[in-house]
Amino acid sequence: MSDRSEWSLSAPRKLTFDAPVTALHVRVVGGTVNVVGTDTGPASLHLSEIEGPPLAVSLHNGVLSIAYEDLPWQGFLKLLDRKGWQRTAHITLTVPTETRAEVGTVHAVAVVSGLSGRTEVRGISGDSTLVGLTGEVRADTVSGSVEAQSLGGRLRFNSVSGELTVIDGTSPAVKADSISGNMVLDIAPTATPADLHLNTVSGGIAIRLPDPANVAVDAQTTSGQLSNAFDDLTVDGSPWGGPWGAWACPGGTGGKITGTL
């Protein structure tokens, strides 16, 4: 029979978990969520500020959950930011590096760093920052922006109007789709080939590539213009000048850039 521990947090508090933590589930409305992976010490939670109903915390079979009971993970992006959700919580979580993490926010800011397990982030209007993650990453957002820095695993991004910014990108594969959100990718030199598949309806796409790049590119926009500074990439669309390696901007006729460098 497994052990289960539960807490109800309605005031600032610190918790240290003696039992092992292998997975993390977080669902909050407003405030901040900071998740840090570490190779030393037990998992811990620091709730520095809270307004509104209490947070339910549980640890069961290695799964650490911090959430409101009326904020489900399934169908999360279909939720509306209702006026009745006047809630704020500022949380810092320290967990083992290999922890698998699911973080969902309505309009809270999320920062996740130092994990090697699979990470999934869902947000409605809150911004997310992902740093030094080496496992597979999935980020879904309605209007919040996502900044990813020094990721080592595959990145999957979906957005309505939220923007994606990749800094020092070393992911072996990036697949990103948006309706009107812009995408800016700064790809770092790497010995491992990378695949970039980017698609947007009216958003802009900017890609900065090293020389040599070792990258396969498939980027397209429905209504944006395209230009290209690399001879090995094929452009299907109207030319537009710019300083980037490849650039698509809103307001044009659409097009596609493909090829391998």
Task: Compute the mean pLDDT over every residue in the chain, rounded to the nearest whole number.
Answer: 84
Phi, psi of 90 (to 5 degrees): -110, 115
Q: Which residue has the higher pLDDT, 256 or 175?
A: 175
User: In the structure, what pLDDT confidence band is assigned to residue 226 with cuts at 50, 70 and 90?
Assistant: low
Element (H, E) at 202: none
Token code pair at residue 190 = 């790497």
pLDDT in tens, 123-167: 988 899 999 999 999 999 999 999 999 999 999 999 999 999 999
Upstream peptide bond of 193 is cis (omega within 30 degrees of 0)? no
Residue with tokens 């993390």: 24
Instruction: Give the mean pLDDT of 208-217.
Output: 82
pLDDT in tens, 11-27: 999 999 999 999 999 99
Distance CA 153, CA 122 (A): 18
Asked if residue 185 lies in contact with residue 206, where contact means CB atoms within 8 angstroms, the answer is yes
Asked if residue 155 lies in contact with residue 185, where contact means CB atoms within 8 angstroms, the answer is no
In the chain, where are the structural domains located? Answer: 1-109, 145-261
Distance CA 151, CA 132 (A): 5
Beta bridge partners of 194: 215
Nearest of 181, 182, 203, 185 to residue 251 by alpha carbon: 203
Q: Is 77 helix (H, G, I), strand (E, B) or coil?
A: helix
Q: Is the pLDDT of residue 255 over 70?
A: no
pLDDT in tens, 173-196: 999 999 998 898 988 888 788 899
In the prediction, which pLDDT does 93 show?
98
Task: State the distance between the two ends of the chain, measured CA to CA, in whole angstroms.
Answer: 55
